[in-house]
Structure 1
Amino acid sequence: MSQRRTKRSTQAEQDRSTSAEPDISDLEESIKECVRYIICREGSKIPIKRAEIIKHLNTTCQTPSNMVKTILVEADKIIKRVYGYKLIQVEAKSGIQYIVVLTQECDSLPSSAIDGHHRKLLIAALMHIFMSGAAVKEEEMWKFLMEAGLLEENDHAGRKLMTTTFTRQMYLQYRKVGEGDLARNVFLWGQRAVEEVPKLFLLGKMAEAFDKTPDHWCEQYKEATEGNAV
């Protein structure tokens, strides 16, 4: 009887030990390394796969994968406090990913985000989608950017920037809609743009260009100001 009690007691202690929350102090090095890794990766604006974080922490700190969730929570706190950024979890076909965005909405697209000309191209594309109120067909986007003097007819690098780089960075979505003869590619706002780019800023640019006030475009103004109020 005493042996059974001893076994039960030992098993109960093991269960409590397994289910107990990890001591954050024991994970300090892993948390610091996680912060360093995320900040280093942030410069590319390419989403960071959860699997990549797990692999990196396992390689550098021998961190078990079941501790990564706790480490990410603590790393996010440091990133917010020290750098003014936050982690946003996004779902993708390849699994969970994270993007790093500013904690507070700024007045424009952060100038340090991308190259100057690329920034103008991105702002124009996002503005066109926003003012259209829906997805923009690929051919319509090219026409708009060419008329704006931001894209040459045979500028394949510029097109690749739009369809590949900005989509990988999640500023834009570039997707196929429809089937058969009706199939076409369209552009929409990506999740990073939703998080980082103030619609009121874009509307202000439109107002400057046409010598109007932002509320001239009623629907867009309502959407932009409601977004600011959230």
Structure 2
Amino acid sequence: MTELSKPEEDLQDPGEAQGPEEAQLLGAEAGEAASTSASSPQVSWSALAEALPQEALNEMVANLINFLLFKYRAKELTSQAEMLKKVLRDNQEHFSVVFSQASECLRLVCGVEVKEVDRRKHIYIMVPTLGLTCDAMQRGGQGLPKAGLLVVVLSVILQNRDRGPEEEIWGALNKMGVYVGREHSIFGEPRELLTQVWVRDGYLEYRQVPDSTPARYEFLWGPRAFAETSKEKFTEYLLKVNQRAFRSFPLPSAEDVREEVGGP
């Protein structure tokens, strides 16, 4: 773990660690996130949000997500003071609502938890949700983390008595804007990710339902999922997370992102 006091000029610009398309995408995502954070000062978040144009709020949230993802990849701590200095600057009064939405977006979309390790100095560390390390196994941990999608899939399996019918899994992901055969701007081609990548890595099992005619398929927890987390941890996590957040959290497709930035 690197020292928190690392000189500012030695830090990579978070804007370079993540492209502008990803920042815009996550800013839009975060605008839908619920405003819940136990570690921020108590203020009227709704009043602050109303006083700030949505576009400006989304931009600040996207910038903070960008910064926190950079810290996550670098395995570095950060603090409220550092976030105010390097990200929000002259918008310190909006820290609570921006930090809350950024943290919620990281948890639900990217599978990254922002945890406070020093309540007096407000120092934070970013860790994989529920201990899942799937992002570190792919492309050296680069790109946007995908553990959030794995959390959703494992949750659906758990809620279906440990066997997730394929139609149930895709039904849940469709509500998030993730569709079979459609390249997603964050998750790529989801069928390959679920039925090949995560099966190969041991997070999921994908098999035909016994005696099913016509053939139907289902997902189960894989051995690596059991090794890195547990059903008990997932149950506790699901009790803390508002389930409506998963259903109402729109993830735009790659086509939508290209249209927004004027790409081909």
TM-score (norm 2): 0.35
User: Larger C-alpha radius of gyration, 1 or 2?
Assistant: 1
